[in-house]
Structure 1
Amino acid sequence: MTESEPTLAERIGIDILEASPQRVVGTMPVAGNTQPYGMLHGGASCVLAETLGSIRATLHAVELFGGMAVGVEISATHHRGLRSGTVTGVATPLHLGGMIATYEIVITDEQERRVCTARLTCVLRRSGG
């Protein structure tokens, strides 16, 4: 990738605020991430969720065996629509195994109301394998 080719997370404005063994926190603007009706696109919420969960899974894989993580399943329930503002996602582990890790990602609005609940499962792999 070159500097002129931003990642999807960069394109939609995801900002990582915290990345620790306990949780990963990030924000994303609603503006620019809406569907035709002007509300936050569910796919954008899934991108935020997968980004945060994948960062946390990678931290786990590196800690275990210097590896990496690959997302294999994501599900999301969208609880409310938003037309403006910023959403915050928090990824916390549900299961930290040696080959599989699963996370819950809760996305809230600026009033701390739940917008989306996602679950992400990642396969942990050794680097280069």
Structure 2
Amino acid sequence: MINSVTEIHDDELAGRLGAVITTATKQDVIETLPVLGNTQPFGVLHGGANAFLVEDAASRLAQLNAPVARIAVGTELNISQLAPNTTASAQAHAQVIKLTKKTLVAQVDIYDANNMLTATGRMTCVFIRQPGQ
């Protein structure tokens, strides 16, 4: 059973990383992640944490737009790391670029706590039948 798109549970990667969904509509998803605990040894936000934010925010956005009895699964993910983030948090803003009956392409921009763009990415999701349906 799929949990609510806006709920984050401790047994999900998002919960273990400390992610919080602050906005979730069919047009955009905003998700925040603490930097502390998600850094490289040098004290900057790990690039994999940025990739997680792109995938998680885009997947939630796609699921909000999924047809009935379908789930969104990612098929392509790319990310460009633009600047190091050593602030308290990272905020991902996912928006729909293209939506069809079978796919959604999302653009995700990631900002530090000072509102500086630190990473940007894109994810393509396809809508498949929900397992067991």
TM-score, length of structure 2 as denominator length: 0.87
Q: Where in structure 1 do 4 or more consecutive aligned residues deviate above 3 Å?
A: none
Give distance in 1, aligned partners of 2:23 and 2:85. 24
Q: Is the Cα contact below 8 Å between 1:21 and 1:60 reproduced in 2?
A: yes
Structure 2 gap segments, 5+ residues each: 1-8
Matched, 1:104 2:107: yes
Tell me which amino acid in the other structure corresponds to 2:76.
E
Q: How does 1:38-53 map to 2 (within 5 A)?
A: 38-53=43-58
For these two proteins, the number of residue pairs brought into alignment is: 124
Matched, 1:118 2:121: yes
* Gap change, CA 1:84 and 1:111, over 3 Å in 2: closer
| 2:82 aligned partner | 79
Structure 1 gap segments, 5+ residues each: none
Matched, 1:92 2:132: no
| 1:23 aligned partner | 28
Tell me which amino acid in the other structure corresponds to 2:121.
A
Give distance in 2, aligned partners of 1:54 and 1:8. 13
Q: Is the Cα contact below 8 Å between 1:24 and 1:92 reproduced in 2?
A: yes
TM-score, length of structure 1 as denominator length: 0.90
Tell me which amino acid in the other structure corresponds to 1:53.
A
Identity %: 34
Q: Is the Cα contact below 8 Å between 1:69 and 1:124 reproduced in 2?
A: yes
| Helix, strand or coil at the partner of 1:95 | strand
- Calculate the aligned-residue CA RMSD, in Å: 1.5
Give distance in 2, aligned partners of 1:48 and 1:30. 12
| Helix, strand or coil at the partner of 2:41 | coil
